[in-house]
């Protein structure tokens, strides 16, 4: 299960809190939410403090978002490790 909520939004920025497991169909849901922010030409950041697990597709999405300059705040060492291991 994944929960995505807007925690801060202004005219120029939006912050999404991502909580739970970024797996399966939830990866596409996060992709859709981020595309909405991009379509509004807003700077995007993700608060990942309560993100507990990502599957390879979720890790790929987080890496893709990082390449698009999406800040990933409060990412745990466990999630960091998952991103490294799935990048190989």
Q: What is the pTM of this model?
A: 0.90
pLDDT of residue 9: 80
Q: Which tens digit of pLDDT belongs to each residue from 49-69?
A: 999 999 999 999 999 999 999
Residues 6+ apart with CB under 8 A from 44: 13, 14, 15, 16, 34, 37, 38, 65, 70, 71
With bands split at pLDDT 50, 70 and 90, how would you rate the model's confidence at 5?
Answer: very high
CA 19 remoteness from chain centre:
9
Number of residues that this document lists for the chain: 88
pLDDT of residue 87: 74
Residue 12 is encoded by which pair of tokens?
Answer: 């120029």
Contact 52, 20 (CB under 8 A): yes
Contact 85, 61 (CB under 8 A): no
Considering the domain 2-87 in this protein, what is its CATH number? 3.30.750.24
Domain map of the chain by residue range?
2-87
Q: Which tens digit of pLDDT belongs to each residue from 17-52?
A: 999 999 999 999 999 999 988 888 778 999 999 999
Residue 23: half-sphere exposure toward Cβ, Cα within 13 Å = 10
């Amino acid at each position: 299960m994944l929960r995505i909520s807007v925690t801060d939004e202004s005219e120029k920025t939006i912050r999404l809190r991502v909580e739970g497991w970024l797996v399966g169909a939830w990866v596409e849901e996060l992709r859709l939410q981020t595309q909405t922010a991009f379509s509004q030409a807003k700077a995007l950041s993700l608060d990942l403090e309560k993100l507990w697990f990502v599957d390879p597709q979720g890790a790929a999405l987080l890496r893709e978002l990082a390449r698009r300059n999406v800040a990933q705040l409060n990412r745990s060492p466990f999630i960091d490790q998952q991103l490294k291991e799935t990048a190989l």
